[in-house]
Structure 1
């Protein structure tokens, strides 16, 4: 089986190096998202040699109360990765007081990514519509809504805009989560653990549970190829990104 994990916080595990080794050994194509540009900077030297793990340059909206957004570091490493995340806006009650600052930061990040061949992994809790609005405004080519929890109508708008969703086993544990899963077209689904924040049967979601988790998604969707589905969807997304990057380079050369 070819597993993927398109959203994981490896630095939050108690023994991150053990988790990293497992992902490489099991050949799980994964995206290690970061919550601050400083975290990306600290981990980048360790991740250049990995085959299956990629590092995302991020600034989590929940960090606004605790850490300023370091534009200098973000800009410094912007060209070093094809992945931007975790980024976004959180409009839930706990973070509503600083939503204007969140929006300003997300505006800046989107302006950097605009028309670039980079894939964003998005936090959009209670702010799904405004996040989508920003993505469209800045002509973001590739975005993945991580652990989506918004309205069914907005799912349609996201799909029409060409974006993806990364889903995790915690979404199978609530009626709303199941409704959301049913309404996402199969061709727009990726898999994420969001480890160590999502749970599977009261345990932190880890690769040792992936086979069982994928079987549950097979049962939920009434299929027998969930692992192939999400793997092929990721492959398609990466091919599209690479093609756009190459086309952009050619156009730039012509203009210059």
Structure 2
């Protein structure tokens, strides 16, 4: 079945009822990447989404958790052959996680090398205050023809955007990102044929309610108004972008 929308970065296992969240993605026909933050969370997500037409699960080791969970890296490598999708991984150089940055780089590099060795992976990357190091490590460890790369909630400079575009990266955009001046600036710099939508739910909220994959149409509308296309043309372009991404790697 063909999807109507795309949510390429959400944390379905952090909603109150994972099975219900998966069923909602199927009912609303949202092609969804359910990222995980630790390798130990992967199995349950895979088990509950096994019969889903629209949900795929990413194997993750979140950079904000690396200080406490780096010993799960062996488990990550053991599970990696079982999935095409990898995320959430990356680097975070924010104040709360700066002390683990060297360890994050070691873990991220090992993951990238494993993905390069296996090939045909699709990655969803975190890069808070670390856009240049993330791009540097991609160039060092992951040839563009070995994986498709999606930069989640990207906040880099215009030069960073251009560099990422030149190496074939896509960008997943959410309504929280588009509520900021920086996010809108980045959105205007991304070619429309490299844009995907995401929610990053439940971390993004509308009022006091966390967004879920069924809310992603709002982000499509904001993108459309920003770039001067109709919402329908934008929705169709994003679906085409997803199809192209999945044919890479």
Aligned to 2:28: 26
Aligned to 1:124: 127
Aligned to 1:174: 180
- Number of equivalent positions: 241
Aligned to 1:250: none
Aligned to 1:135: 138
Query: CA distance change for structure 1 residues 6 and 72 in 2, over 3 Å: closer, same or farther?
Result: same
Q: Give 1:202 deviation, angstroms.
A: 5.0
Query: CA distance change for structure 1 residues 145 and 213 in 2, over 3 Å: closer, same or farther?
Result: closer
Q: Separation in 2 of the partners of 1:60 and 1:29?
A: 22
Aligned to 1:73: 75
For residue 48 of structure 1, give the secondary structure of its aligned residue in structure 2.
Answer: coil
Aligned to 2:201: 195
Q: Separation in 1 of the partners of 2:189 and 2:178?
A: 13
Query: CA distance change for structure 1 residues 69 and 84 in 2, over 3 Å: closer, same or farther?
Result: farther
The answer to whether the 8 Å contact 2:197/2:219 transfers is no
> Which runs of no fewer than 5 residues in structure 2 stay unpaired?
none
Q: Separation in 1 of the partners of 2:167 and 2:30?
A: 28
Aligned to 1:183: 189
Greater CA drift, 165-174 or 41-50: 41-50
Q: Separation in 1 of the partners of 2:94 and 2:47?
A: 35
After superposition, where does 1:197-216 map in structure 2 within 5 Å?
Answer: 197-216=203-222
Larger-Rg structure? 1
Query: CA distance change for structure 1 residues 211 and 42 in 2, over 3 Å: closer, same or farther?
Result: closer
Q: Give 1:26 deviation, angstroms.
A: 1.4
Query: CA distance change for structure 1 residues 138 and 14 in 2, over 3 Å: closer, same or farther?
Result: same
Deviations 1:58-101 (A, max 9, x none): 10000023323413321221111111110001011111111010
Q: Separation in 2 of the partners of 1:213 and 1:36?
A: 27
For residue 93 of structure 1, give the secondary structure of its aligned residue in structure 2.
Answer: coil
Q: Separation in 2 of the partners of 1:12 and 1:178?
A: 27
For residue 223 of structure 1, give the secondary structure of its aligned residue in structure 2.
Answer: coil
Query: CA distance change for structure 1 residues 138 and 51 in 2, over 3 Å: closer, same or farther?
Result: same
TM-score with structure 1 length normalisation? 0.89
Q: Give 1:179 deviation, angstroms.
A: 0.5
Aligned to 1:42: 44
Aligned to 2:152: 146
Q: Separation in 2 of the partners of 1:24 and 1:170?
A: 24
Q: Give 1:9 deviation, angstroms.
A: 0.3
